[in-house]
């Protein structure tokens, strides 16, 4: 009886996971089809001859010729698609063939795939911010404020921008980094009671401790229960430290734990332990936004994601980021599936991030990718004649094989790990 229940429960979990994997595969295919549709639409508008537009790979299970002679097909393996231009990889006498078109036209067609991915990322993220919200900093306590209520933070303020720069949080360190750039005084745009408000706030010296704060850790060293001490007692016992000494703490405040630090300083002639800051504690919140606010912020967020992707690529190349951070198609599908399992709403968020990723990756000058083909177009435009088409074709073919092998290697690496 028990074993039957366990087997049935396991089977249900397996089928549930398979369902999420199928959703992830469809989501990935949608992103790739959007990319190829960008090429298709630009090609049609600029007079390129298109042989076929396909959804999926493998032998066609459905195909139909259009009035223009283009074939539309659906193929069984839902891991992508393609837009095949006439004369894209070989010589073709047709004046509408890809390589017979002017370089600037080819550049637009090649760029349009990534552009459509980026636009789709903006659309998806706008929907997500409107329906569910954006992760943003929120002011939780305001015990040590300076200035009037109108010129300082209030508890519950959601921070939208600092000194005119939109605040975006993708990784945990983004919250700290956004405040680190604020300086001694800063102009904050906050969302207060549903309305945006701009306030000017200056840093000042204050004690970050509150009555009843219990110190759990000092400078990274955890204290056992017999060593834990109230912050007020620690302050009273540490009067002999030198000016300039900084100490970091993990404290227990009510049911919450937080990190803070104090520095031995002389303020207005009084020597003591102070923290130099805005006099607030902060946390993060998923703040639902109005449609137009979400639309406006989606542009900044999408460019922020692009910057993070480029930074991650740089870190991978320099070895600062582990190879395990990258992945092939299977890893991408797995990521989408697992994110969707945690919360189905995440699928929009993850699709937006991967769409931006596709846009960036396809514009890199790597053989077989759009960026490399664009580079060849630019060289042809400058030289007034193309590089040998056969040589270019070999370069792209070798690049494609290397990319596929690298993607398979990364997926195997993840599976083994």
Q: Is pLDDT at 296 greater than 50 in this prediction?
A: yes
Sequence-separated (6 or more) residues with CB below 8 Å from residue 276: 203, 204, 205, 263, 265
Q: Is pLDDT at 255 greater than 70 in this prediction?
A: yes
Cα(21)–Cα(330) distance, integer angstroms: 10
Q: Is pLDDT at 279 greater than 60 in this prediction?
A: yes
Cα(233)–Cα(229) distance, integer angstroms: 7
Token pair recorded at residue 37: 């549709």
pLDDT digits (tens, 9 = 90+) for 87-140: 887 777 888 888 889 999 999 999 999 999 999 999 999 999 999 999 898 888
Cα(36)–Cα(407) distance, integer angstroms: 20
Cα(189)–Cα(160) distance, integer angstroms: 5
Sequence-separated (6 or more) residues with CB below 8 Å from residue 75: 54, 55, 56, 57, 58, 59, 60, 61, 81
Most confident by average pLDDT, 35-39, 344-348, 364-368, 403-407 = 35-39
Cα(210)–Cα(154) distance, integer angstroms: 18
Write down all domains in the chain, each with its CATH number in brackets: 2-131+332-416 (no CATH), 134-203+282-287 (2.30.42.10), 210-270 (no CATH)
Q: Which is it for strands 165-166 and 71-74: parallel, antiparallel or unpaired?
A: unpaired
Neighbours of 74 (CB within 10 A): 14
Res 86: pLDDT: 87
């Amino acid at each position: 009886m028990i074993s039957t229940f366990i087997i049935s429960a396991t089977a249900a979990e397996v089928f549930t996971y398979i369902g999420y994997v199928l959703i992830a595969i469809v989501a990935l295919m949608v992103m790739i089809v959007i990319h190829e549709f960008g090429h298709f639409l630009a090609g049609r508008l600029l007079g390129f001859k298109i042989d076929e537009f396909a959804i999926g790979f493998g032998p066609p299970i459905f195909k139909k010729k259009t009035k223009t002679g283009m074939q539309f097909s659906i193929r069984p393996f839902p891991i992508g698609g393609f837009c095949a231009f006439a004369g894209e990889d070989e010589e073709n006498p047709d004046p509408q063939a890809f390589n017979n078109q002017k370089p600037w036209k080819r550049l637009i067609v090649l760029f349009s795939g990534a552009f459509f991915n980026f636009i789709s990322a903006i659309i998806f993220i706008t929907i997500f911010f409107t329906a569910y919200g954006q992760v943003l900093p929120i002011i939780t306590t305001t015990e040590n404020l300076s200035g009037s209520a109108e010129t300082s933070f209030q508890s519950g303020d959601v921070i939208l921008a600092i000194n005119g720069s939109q605040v975006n949080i993708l990784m945990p360190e983004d919250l700290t980094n956004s405040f680190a750039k604020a300086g001694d005084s800063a102009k904050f745009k906050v969302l207060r009671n549903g309305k945006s408000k701009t306030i000017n706030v200056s840093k000042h010296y204050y004690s970050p401790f509150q009555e009843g704060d219990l110190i759990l850790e000092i400078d990274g060293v955890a204290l056992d229960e017999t060593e834990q001490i109230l912050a007020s007692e620690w302050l009273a016992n540490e009067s002999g430290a030198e000016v300039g000494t900084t100490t970091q703490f993990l404290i227990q405040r009510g049911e919450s734990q937080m990190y803070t630090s104090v520095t031995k300083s002389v303020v207005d002639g009084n020597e003591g332990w102070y923290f130099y800051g805005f006099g607030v504690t902060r946390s993060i919140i998923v703040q639902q936004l109005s449609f137009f606010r979400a639309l406006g912020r989606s542009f900044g967020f999408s460019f922020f994601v692009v910057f993070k992707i480029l930074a991650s690529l740089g870190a991978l190349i320099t070895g600062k980021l582990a190879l395990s951070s990258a992945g092939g198609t299977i890893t991408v599908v797995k990521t989408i599936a697992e994110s969707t399992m945690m919360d189905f709403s995440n699928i929009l968020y993850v699709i937006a991030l991967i769409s931006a990723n596709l846009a960036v990756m396809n514009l890199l000058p790597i053989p077989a990718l759009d960026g490399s083909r664009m580079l060849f177009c630019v060289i042809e435009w400058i030289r007034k004649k193309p590089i040998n088409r056969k040589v270019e074709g070999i370069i792209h073919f070798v690049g494609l094989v290397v990319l596929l092998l690298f993607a398979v290697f990364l997926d195997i690496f993840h599976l083994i790990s």
